[in-house]
Structure 1
Amino acid sequence: MDSTARARLEDLGVSLGGYPRGRHNAITDVPGVLVGHATVHTERLNTGVTAIVPEVIGAGRRWIPAGLAVGNGYGKLIGATQLQELGAIETPILLTSTLSAYRVADALLGHMLSEPGYETVTTLNPVVGETNDGFLSDIRSRPVGAPEVEASLAAASAGPVAEGSVGAGSGTVALGFKGGIGTSSRTVTVGDGAYTVGAIVQSNFSGTLSIAGVPMPSSELVPGPTAQTVGNSCMIVVATDAPLDARQLARCARRAVFAMRGVGADFAQGSGDYAIAFSVGHSTPPDDAVLSPLFQATMDAVEEALVNSILTATTQSHADGHVAHAIPLDTVRERLAATGVVGVMDSNG
């Protein structure tokens, strides 16, 4: 592999946890879940929208079960209270920049109301999450709106997912490095059924990075001053085809937030750390007694998605001189090799 090329955790020979990755190691491994990005990169803007689209939502099925976990509530998660109260989502989930979240929510609402079968709808709950990309983007200009929303939804597709400095991750910073969008998936047996759980993240939080238990301090790995996280937040979306109900999905969402600690998150005072978990399954929910493998698979997928969001990100800068450096992959490889963390890593690290 070219040493200058970006890589994912699996490319480095590290297997996180005891469950196999899905075909694309992405949230799109869950049947009927699509992802699309709209990306804005200029001298003064690094921002965008990422759309997570459950295909099943539409005129024929207005909602699917979902659960919410709030790790720290310093954020602007639009639609959170109804999601929590009713245990359902009625729209795709969009991720974007903090001060553009309200424009994105309005555009998502307009998009849904224009869909066939929604002509008489008088109430709808758009779900839009955000993190703050103000270190690398002119966030006060609120540059993201309807064109980017429509572009992200139009681009939504199955298969491999673009990661790193794309979409809602274009201008984010994580653990002193350039952060961004990351994804991963696991296949797991729950009761008598085999299912997939996938995660996608928008990383923008502080702490000291750890990969497979190996410390990777940004102060030691990047030249010059390390990037400063603004807003200090993380959005996590988990999807599964296991037929969980809203209460069980909220339990999965809580495990998703727990996974942030595995990569070194410090859960600082001003963080907005949220996880939304939804199911596209149809059959009877399983008994809680068989959910432990799914919980572990969720944490593994989220942790790997967080790592991937950093490994795949490219260096980005702003006209005012701010720079967020991509993590140097050669150094990461050297540190993993020096500590023997290659090949299979068990769930306990």
Structure 2
Amino acid sequence: MEQVPRRARDLGITVGELPTGPLNAITDVAGVTVGHTTIDDGADLHTGVTAVVPRQLGAGHRSLPAAVYVGNGYGKLVGSTQVDELGVLESPIVLTATLSVFRAADALLTYLMDRHPGGVSFNPLVGETNDAHLSDIRRRPVTERHVLDAVRSASPGPPAEGCVGAGTGTSALGFKAGIGTSSRRVGVGGSPYTVGALVQSNFSGVLTVRGVPMPAAELVPHGDRTEPVGNSCMIIVATDAPVDARQLGRLARRAVFAMSRVGAAYTHGSGDYAIAFTTTPPPRQPLPDGLIDPLFAAVLDAVEESLLNSLFMAVTTVGVRGRIQHAVPHQQVLRRLAATGRLSAPA
């Protein structure tokens, strides 16, 4: 019987000691919404679109403070240089497959032009990972309608995880992966803030859960396992803390660092990117640097748990040319964690 997808925390795997938001998702940051469009024909197409849409954009604000950190630039992150240069986010953030990123950017441009009649310059921000191992990527099935549907359907509720949207055909650490999300709540200078993360996992390495290696070669039958050719990771971090673009760059760096906690190999072909933004307009006085350590801790924990959720919520998938990518076998992981005393009580 195929296992039921379950989040890491529901399996008794707790990352860090900081409390989560009520949804344990990026949507715990007020105003941040998530939408998906999934393209899955059960055979050759396993792909889609995921959109992170801050509602503060368009509510009297054309931009929000933001930063991009490039862990390894083997990827296509459309619009990143202007974010780097100006330190602002001007559009929803869209994730999709590598060869669909340019069509997605054009579709997002349509959305921005509709929102701002008369504008003559826009900066759509679109990232990707390569899902060619399970999906016929050269067919480029993502259309303008798929992108607009994901953006316009974005909601503040619990985002779907695993094999959905831009994570429908992705793999990580030798297993089927996808979309994952998590959040943390922290106090800084006497004020409460929320940090949320969402990931599109598609990278190589050896899965590590709470410091315990879980090699795919040991957990999945040898004759029934295939390895993806491409690998990358897109990470989105949102917060409501009053931080500026420079400080958001520091948060984005920690997001990529968090990949090492789950066993990322950071290989030559892995395009590893983090985008961080705040829903608070540019503050007159950003938080002092000496006070933002709790935000760093929140990013590290939220990204680590997001990555685990992207794996534990995925299901075994048979893709193009009969390639198969297995879901992480929950019970085998739990047995190994229990043997080392690193398993909490399930939520």
Q: TM-score scaled by structure 2?
A: 0.96
> Deviation at 1:9?
1.1
- Name the CA distance, whole Å, in 1 between partners of 2:59 and 2:294: 34
The residue type equivalent to 1:259 in the other structure is: A
Contact 1:178–1:227 (Cα < 8 Å) also in 2: no
The residue type equivalent to 2:287 in the other structure is: P
1:96 aligns with 2:96: yes
> Deviation at 1:339?
1.1
Q: TM-score scaled by structure 1?
A: 0.95
Contact 1:28–1:160 (Cα < 8 Å) also in 2: yes
Alignment of 1:118-137 (within 5 A): 118-137=116-135
> Deviation at 1:229?
2.5
1:317 counterpart residue number: 318
Compare 193-202 and 11-20 and name the one that shifted more. Answer: 11-20
Structure 1: segments with no counterpart, 5+ residues: 345-349
Structure 2: segments with no counterpart, 5+ residues: none
> Deviation at 1:227?
3.4
The residue type equivalent to 2:53 in the other structure is: V
- Name the CA distance, whole Å, in 1 between partners of 2:13 and 2:139: 41
2:18 counterpart residue number: 19
1:10 counterpart residue number: 9
> Deviation at 1:60?
1.8
Contact 1:173–1:227 (Cα < 8 Å) also in 2: no
> Deviation at 1:235?
0.1
> Deviation at 1:319?
4.1
> Deviation at 1:191?
1.5
1:294 counterpart residue number: 295
- Name the CA distance, whole Å, in 2 between partners of 1:248 and 1:193: 18
> Aligned to 1:174, which of 166, 172, 175?
172
Identity %: 57
Compare 51-60 and 75-84 and name the one that shifted more. Answer: 51-60
- Name the CA distance, whole Å, in 2 between partners of 1:206 and 1:304: 17
> Deviation at 1:142?
0.8
SS for the counterpart of 2:99 is helix
Distance 1:67 1:210, change over 3 A: same
SS for the counterpart of 1:242 is coil
Alignment of 1:1-349 (within 5 A): 4-42=3-41, 43-58=43-58, 60-115=60-115, 118-223=116-221, 224-282=223-281, 283=283, 284-343=285-344
Compare 269-278 and 149-158 and name the one that shifted more. Answer: 149-158
SS for the counterpart of 1:15 is coil
SS for the counterpart of 2:252 is helix
SS for the counterpart of 2:14 is strand
Deviations along 1:288-323, one digit per CA (max 9) or x if unpaired, are 000011001100000110011000001111241101
- Name the CA distance, whole Å, in 2 between partners of 1:113 and 1:82: 18
SS for the counterpart of 1:343 is coil
The residue type equivalent to 1:150 in the other structure is: L
- Name the CA distance, whole Å, in 2 between partners of 1:270 and 1:191: 41
Q: What is the count of residue pairs matched by the alignment?
A: 341
> Deviation at 1:231?
2.0
- Name the CA distance, whole Å, in 1 between partners of 2:334 and 2:2: 10
- Name the CA distance, whole Å, in 1 between partners of 2:174 and 2:13: 22
Contact 2:65–2:87 (Cα < 8 Å) also in 1: yes
Contact 2:207–2:215 (Cα < 8 Å) also in 1: yes
SS for the counterpart of 2:322 is coil
- Name the CA distance, whole Å, in 2 between partners of 1:215 and 1:52: 32
The residue type equivalent to 2:23 in the other structure is: H
Deviations along 1:14-35, one digit per CA (max 9) or x if unpaired, are 2211211111100000000000
- Name the CA distance, whole Å, in 2 between partners of 1:200 and 1:227: 26
- Name the CA distance, whole Å, in 1 between partners of 2:2 and 2:320: 28
Contact 1:101–1:130 (Cα < 8 Å) also in 2: yes
SS for the counterpart of 1:122 is coil
Deviations along 1:193-213, one digit per CA (max 9) or x if unpaired, are 110000000000000000111
- Name the CA distance, whole Å, in 2 between partners of 1:3 and 1:330: 12
RMSD between aligned residues: 1.3
- Name the CA distance, whole Å, in 1 between partners of 2:143 and 2:84: 26
